[in-house]
Amino acid sequence: MTTVAPVALFGHWICPFSVRVEFALAQRGIAYEVVDVPPSAVRPKGFVVPDEFAAHSPKLEIPMVRIAGEYLADSMPILWWLEERFTAHSLVPVGEDDALRERMAWIDRHVYRPMIGVYYGTEPDAIAAASERFGDAMAEAGAWLDDADWLCGDAPSLCEALMVAVYVRLDGLRRLGLTANLPAAVTAHHQRCAALSGWPTVAWSAEQTDEFVWRFSEYRRRRSPHHWPGGGDR
Ligand SMILES: N[C@@H](CCC(=O)N[C@@H](CS)C(=O)NCC(=O)O)C(=O)O
């Protein structure tokens, strides 16, 4: 007899939105299975998305989660849904709902947009500009962390789920053109996050970092061969 995990995550390790959700599941000790659905930019030729995913992810985006026959896509609503459905090891500090939502929205906008601009960037100038915006956002986050260990409240929260997904790819981002220096308070926060119980589940191996860099280098060469000649080899 097989046991069906109550939670299924349709996602992929390379997708930061998916990593947010997987970190929250792991950190909260929620049992789950992963159904691998690579983002289309890095999808192997001939990969067929599961029917269940096509039917229930309205924008065909990962992450999507199934809990006992119900589905939800979009990482932030998923993180809050998990809080509704599972009470143990909450990542919402008591009384901090509004502050948490505000900080998460801020990180989503000011950290994620430029981060994605770095690795999906195909023009050197645009990559450099995104790198600078990312550095500015991390400087602001560093100021929040100057007198606090965590991004919201006094324990790890959903903000850490967002930031962990950034930290796991920092080395890869550097190899793809991120040059911004990060404040010491951010580096210390990264280290605190790396000591959390959910971290090992989502941390990248050296091979995953290499694969991330290789896939997005290939993406650049396909989109902008003038700037990024060569390629093809791993
Ligand atoms: N707002 C969404 C964004 C999710 C998203 O952009 N996912 C990407 C992969 S990282 C995706 O599935 N893109 C569509 C595709 O690859 O076809 C969230 O927070 O979950």
Structure tokens at 104: 């998460």
**Residue-range domains of the chain with CATH:** 7-85 (3.40.30.10), 97-202 (1.20.1050.10)
Query: In ligand 1, which atom is closest to the CA atom of 63?
Result: 20
pLDDT tens readout for residues 95-119: 889 999 999 999 999 999 999 999 9
**Smallest CA separation from ligand 1 atom 5, residue:** 61
* Distance of alpha carbon 90 from alpha carbon 78, whole angstroms: 14
pLDDT tens readout for residues 187-211: 999 999 999 999 999 999 999 999 9
Structure tokens at 24: 């929250």
Listing DSSP states for 151-210 in one string gives SSTTS--HHHHHHHHHHTTHHHHHHTT--PPPPHHHHHHHHHHHTSTTHHHHPPPHHHHH
Which parts of the chain register pLDDT below 70? 1-5, 231-234
- Contacts of residue 67, defined as CB under 8 A and 6 or more positions apart, other chains included, come to 6, 7, 81, 85
Decide: 143 in ligand 1 pocket, CB within 6 A.
Answer: no
Q: pTM for this one?
A: 0.95
Question: Which residues does residue 70 pair with via DSSP β-bridges, in sequence order?
Answer: 67
* 112, 165 contact by CB (below 8 A): no
Decide: 57 in ligand 1 pocket, CB within 6 A.
Answer: no
